[in-house]
């Protein structure tokens, strides 16, 4: 989300919360369930420049979130049980699903003990090609280069550009500019650009990936817990909508097949990399169905409604992220009202 949108969304959240309007709106907005998106769970970075902090929450926050969810009249269920409730007629209790994207080691080392203590089922969507080294966490590499340098040079749209990256404000502005440009361009050009940048400024992307992401042995340890579902997240974490049809489908299939080969179980649930409308659209929803998944989750914001039974390849989620680490936001998220307002009271966003 662009910064101004984030600020507006946050101001809207506070207005909803402090006005009490969410109590009035909740019966229309809260739906049958919600799927939460998380990435890292770890202590907050002390570095002021940490533009990827939206991808992490602290262990204490995760613990507090679970305790708070338990005070609401909802069940915490696996994605498989969510699928069952969405597709089985009848009255079901409202539910919450916890999901983690990418396959970070802190999911095993930090999040798992907390979730286990509370007996919370959860899903980890693994990017198969990132397991055990070779992962291209390009958004982290870009952050690292800008964090370490006072100036950087790069060829952007055929022009050599020089950026001052000395102050915090400069670093943030340059990160924003390059990050959003990269998100808009061809995936292969993106990866080549960041690999070149990392190499020139001596950021070891392989080492970064090896430190951050689980190995197959670690994923097997996690998967051995009956609370855990391993889902697929493609082979190489490309924005599928930017790829041609065959390549997008083979990314989905290869990711699932690699997990099946390593774990002996074919993953049935899928998360689109990035998951925003520019990264996963209606063509990709059809491809996920063709690949045989039971559910596929986006990062479009919203609650689940009975109507989602017809749109299992485009399930919305709600991000629990570093920018919203306050329990009052959780109460709002469970009420569904921010998304009702954000989506103009439309329950489906599947185009």
Return residues touching Zn ion (CB under 5 A).
Answer: 101-102, 273
CB of 22 to Zn ion, least distance (A): 29
Per DSSP, 225 falls in state S
Nearer to Zn ion, 93 or 184 (CB): 184
**Neighbouring residues of 83: CB distance < 8 A, sequence distance ≥ 6:** 269, 294, 295, 312
C-alpha dihedral over 285, 289, 293, 298, to 10 degrees? 10
Nearer to Zn ion, 61 or 138 (CB): 138
CB of 21 to Zn ion, least distance (A): 33
Distance in angstroms (rounded) separating the CA atoms of residues 22 and 307: 22
Distance in angstroms (rounded) separating the CA atoms of residues 105 and 119: 20
Nearer to Zn ion, 101 or 262 (CB): 101
Nearer to Zn ion, 31 or 273 (CB): 273
CB of 243 to Zn ion, least distance (A): 15
C-alpha dihedral over 254, 255, 257, 259, to 10 degrees? 160
CB of 233 to Zn ion, least distance (A): 6
CB of 101 to Zn ion, least distance (A): 4
Nearer to Zn ion, 165 or 298 (CB): 298
**Neighbouring residues of 60: CB distance < 8 A, sequence distance ≥ 6:** none
SS3 261: helix
Nearer to Zn ion, 238 or 324 (CB): 238
CB of 36 to Zn ion, least distance (A): 15
Nearer to Zn ion, 22 or 102 (CB): 102
C-beta atoms surrounding 68 within 10 Å: 14
What are the tokens at 171?
A: 């670093």
Nearer to Zn ion, 56 or 102 (CB): 102
Closest C-alpha among 259, 289, 257, 204 to residue 272: 289
Distance in angstroms (rounded) separating the CA atoms of residues 30 and 121: 21
What are the tokens at 180?
A: 């959003």
CB of 237 to Zn ion, least distance (A): 6
SS3 220: helix
Nearer to Zn ion, 104 or 216 (CB): 104
CB of 255 to Zn ion, least distance (A): 11
Say how many residues make up the chain. 351
Closest C-alpha among 328, 40, 45 to residue 212: 40
Distance in angstroms (rounded) separating the CA atoms of residues 42 and 110: 7
By beta carbon distance, the residue nearest Zn ion is: 101
CB of 274 to Zn ion, least distance (A): 7
Distance in angstroms (rounded) separating the CA atoms of residues 56 and 325: 10
Q: How far is CA 262 from CA 15, 219, 252, 253, in A?
A: 48, 9, 16, 14
């Amino acid at each position: 989300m662009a910064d101004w949108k984030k600020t507006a969304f946050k101001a809207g959240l506070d207005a909803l919360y402090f006005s009490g309007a969410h109590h009035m709106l909740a019966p229309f907005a809260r739906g049958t369930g919600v799927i939460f998106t998380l990435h890292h769970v770890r202590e907050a970075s002390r570095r002021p420049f940490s533009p990827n902090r939206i991808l992490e929450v602290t262990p204490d926050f995760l613990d507090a979130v679970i305790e708070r969810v338990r005070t609401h009249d909802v069940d915490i269920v696996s994605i498989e049980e969510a699928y069952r409730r969405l597709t089985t007629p009848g009255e079901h209790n409202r539910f919450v699903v916890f999901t983690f994207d990418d396959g970070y080691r802190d999911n095993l080392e930090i999040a798992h003990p907390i979730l286990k203590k509370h007996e919370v089922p959860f899903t980890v969507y693994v990017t198969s090609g990132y397991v055990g080294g070779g992962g291209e966490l390009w958004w982290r590499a870009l952050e690292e280069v800008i964090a370490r340098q006072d100036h950087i040079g790069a060829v952007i749209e055929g022009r050599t550009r020089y950026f001052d990256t000395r102050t915090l404000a400069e670093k943030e502005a340059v990160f924003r500019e390059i990050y959003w440009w990269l998100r808009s361009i061809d995936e292969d050009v993106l990866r080549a650009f960041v690999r070149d940048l990392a190499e020139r400024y001596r950021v070891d992307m392989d080492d970064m990936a090896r430190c951050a992401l689980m190995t197959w042995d670690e994923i097997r340890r996690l998967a051995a817990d009956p609370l855990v579902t391993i889902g697929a997240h493609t082979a190489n974490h490309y924005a599928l909508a930017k790829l041609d049809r065959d390549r997008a489908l083979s990314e989905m299939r290869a990711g699932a097949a690699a997990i099946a080969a390593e774990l002996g179980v074919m993953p049935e649930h899928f998360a689109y990399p990035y998951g925003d409308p520019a990264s996963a659209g209606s063509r990709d929803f059809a491809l996920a169905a063709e690949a045989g998944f039971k559910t596929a989750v986006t990062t479009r914001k919203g609650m689940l409604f009975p109507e989602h039974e017809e749109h299992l390849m485009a399930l919305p989620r709600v991000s629990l992220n570093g920018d919203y680490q306050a329990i009052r936001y959780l109460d709002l998220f469970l009420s569904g009202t921010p998304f009702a307002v954000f989506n103009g009271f439309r329950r489906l966003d599947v185009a």
